């Protein structure tokens, strides 16, 4: 849920609050060796799935991958829900799938992941855009502004070690490119089995570190499409990428901390003048070091040193303010900074997902630790060790745009950690054939339903498939802070209406 280096600092503060454990697999765990030809036969209709037992799906092009799936009562309402595991030999990635409230047989499909790296997509599900929310100790309640209003949605606990996901022998994933292979395989297995979704318009979306994840995941799906089409399979109809308050280009985004703390880019300046002067003086040094050792060439030692330097002088001053890094307009009690991520509601989500009856209903494997953790520091550390967050995903974004895959970048204006200034900066700096046309567009206001009588919702710029949108007075989790605006935004995007 944060930019790379600030995230590492946050995780170091909460590491003792979480326990990541891996146990022996339960008897129901998938093994590639158990596959037979029946597992490759499309199931087609999801109504045939059991509420008590997993059905196991396979794909001959991905012999080491399987999908276990069952019906589940996730939200205690009429929304059709399914849960299960993506099994990659000894690794198991948990997912939720919800059918659209409108028309599951025709509506688009969205893949959603939260960020971290290491945070569960149950946060996106139960706090932001899912069909139900958990806001107190009474369990799920219906969320009227859910994105399932007009879309079928996956929420995936990825990579290995996040949420209900686990590995039999402690295996880990440390790079976005590694994680992308697992996600692409899962998508192909799912679409191949449930034929009503074949050829359906598909979007890949994510938040925060999702700005790093999603472009790479989408590129893997796009590239695999050609191989599967050649083998006679229906390709995935990848239409777009959606990034919410993402960290996509650390180099372009790093210095925006100054804008958020020392100018009125979001709220009136919050940092003292002396600190702002020192920060401004350090920005050229920070950018010079990053460009030389992380961008022009990648030298692991020098790049890490540059990132440390920038983190100390550009990001660390924020910690003195005791403000919410995900909503600069709000204070954050240091006691809530760790496990609760400044949002006490996350404690209710953790408590719900730790209940034995809930776990049994969802089909959670017995090997998963009893106490649910919203974020897994071990995963964040693994990605940090590979310096994954110091590698930009912008080249993937440009390549997708060149191939006709639309890209939406939306940002709440109150977020500090992956703020709108830095996100606008990287979209304007992006190298692609539409750069000139995109840069020539000025930011213009948009409103929910196009009706400005209710006030402005934010600003937008769009050209040649790339769209940048701000959401006024929203923080890092836009659908949480501004659910009506977020739903209008995604409905416009899915319909192709634009801004």
Check if the beta carbon of residue 316 is closer than 8 Å to that of residue 282: no
Is position 249 annotated as part of the catalytic site? Answer: no
**Residue 5: φ, ψ to 5°:** -75, -35
| 206 phi and psi angles, rounded to 5 deg | -170, 170
Whether 352 is a known active-site residue: answer no
E-strand stretches of 45-176: 55-57, 65-72, 81-88, 91-98, 108-113, 132-133, 141-142, 151-157, 166-167
Q: Which of 495, 417, 410 is nearest to 461 (CA)?
A: 410
User: Which among 306, 284, 285 has a CA at the least distance from the CA of 295?
Assistant: 306
- Per the residue annotation, which of 100, 256, 476, 481 is the catalytic one? 476
Catalytic: which of 208, 256, 257, 374? 208
CA distance 423 to 208: 11
Beta bridge partners of 111: 154, 204
Q: How far is CA 79 from CA 71, 101, 488, in A?
A: 11, 7, 20
b or e along 376-394 (b: 16 or more beta carbons within 10 Å of the residue's beta carbon)? Answer: bbbbbbbbbebbbbbbbbb
| Cα angle for residues 53, 59, 61 (degrees, 5° grid) | 160
- Whether 257 is catalytic is no
Query: Among residues 249, 415, 472, 481, which one is catalytic?
Result: 415
Tally of CB atoms within 10 A around 31: 12
Kindly state the DSSP code that residue 273 receives in the 8-state scheme.
H
CA separation for the pair 408, 65 (Å, rounded): 30
Catalytic annotation, residues: 208, 415, 476
């Amino acid at each position: 849920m944060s930019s790379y280096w600030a995230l590492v600092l946050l995780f170091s503060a909460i590491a003792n609050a979480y326990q990541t454990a891996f146990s022996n697999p339960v008897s129901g765990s998938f093994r590639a060796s158990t596959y037979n030809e029946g597992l490759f036969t499309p199931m087609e209709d999801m109504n045939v799935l059991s509420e008590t037992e997993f059905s196991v799906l396979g794909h001959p092009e991905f012999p080491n991958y399987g999908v276990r799936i069952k019906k589940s009562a996730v939200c205690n309402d009429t929304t059709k829900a399914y849960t299960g595991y993506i099994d990659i030999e000894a690794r198991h990635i948990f997912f939720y799938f919800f059918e659209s409230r409108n028309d599951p047989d025709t509506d688009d499909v969205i893949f959603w992941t939260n960020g971290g790296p290491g945070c569960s997509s149950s946060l996106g599900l139960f706090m932001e855009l899912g069909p139900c929310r958990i806001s107190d100790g009474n369990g799920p309640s219906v969320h009227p502004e859910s994105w399932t209003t007009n879309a079928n949605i996956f929420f995936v606990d990825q990579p290995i070690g996040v949420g209900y996901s686990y590995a039999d022998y402690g295996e880990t994933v440390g790079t976005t490119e590694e994680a992308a292979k697992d996600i692409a395989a899962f998508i192909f297995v799912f679409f191949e089995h449930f034929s009503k979704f074949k050829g359906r318009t598909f979007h890949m979306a994510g938040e925060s570190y999702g700005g790093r994840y999603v472009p790479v995941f989408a590129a893997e799906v796009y590239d695999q499409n050609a191989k599967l089409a050649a083998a006679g399979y229906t390709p995935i109809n990848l239409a777009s990428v959606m990034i919410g308050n993402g960290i996509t280009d650390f180099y372009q985004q790093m210095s925006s901390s100054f804008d958020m703390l020392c100018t009125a880019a979001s709220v009136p300046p919050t940092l003292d003048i002396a600190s702002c002067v020192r920060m401004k003086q350090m920005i050229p040094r920070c950018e010079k070091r990053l460009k030389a050792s992380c961008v022009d060439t990648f030298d692991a030692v020098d790049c890490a040193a540059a990132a440390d330097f920038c983190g100390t002088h550009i990001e660390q001053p924020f910690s003195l303010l005791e403000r919410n890094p995900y909503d600069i307009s709000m204070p954050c009690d240091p006691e809530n900074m760790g496990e609760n991520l400044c949002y006490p509601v996350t404690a209710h989500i953790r408590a719900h997902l730790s209940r034995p009856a809930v776990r049994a209903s969802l089909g959670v494997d017995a090997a998963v630790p009893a106490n649910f953790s919203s974020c897994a520091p071990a995963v964040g550390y693994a990605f940090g060790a590979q310096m994954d967050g110091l590698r930009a995903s912008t080249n993937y974004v440009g390549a997708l745009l060149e191939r006709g895959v639309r890209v939406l970048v939306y940002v709440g204006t109150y977020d500090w950690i992956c703020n709108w200034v830095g996100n606008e900066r990287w979209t304007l700096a992006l190298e692609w054939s539409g750069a000139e046309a995109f840069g020539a567009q000025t930011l213009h206001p948009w409103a929910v339903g196009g009706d400005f009588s209710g006030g402005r919702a934010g600003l937008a710029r769009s050209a040649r498939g790339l769209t940048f949108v701000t959401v006024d007075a929203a923080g890092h989790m836009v659908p949480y802070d501004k659910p009506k605006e977020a739903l209008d935004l995604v409905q416009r995007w899915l319909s192709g209406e634009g801004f």
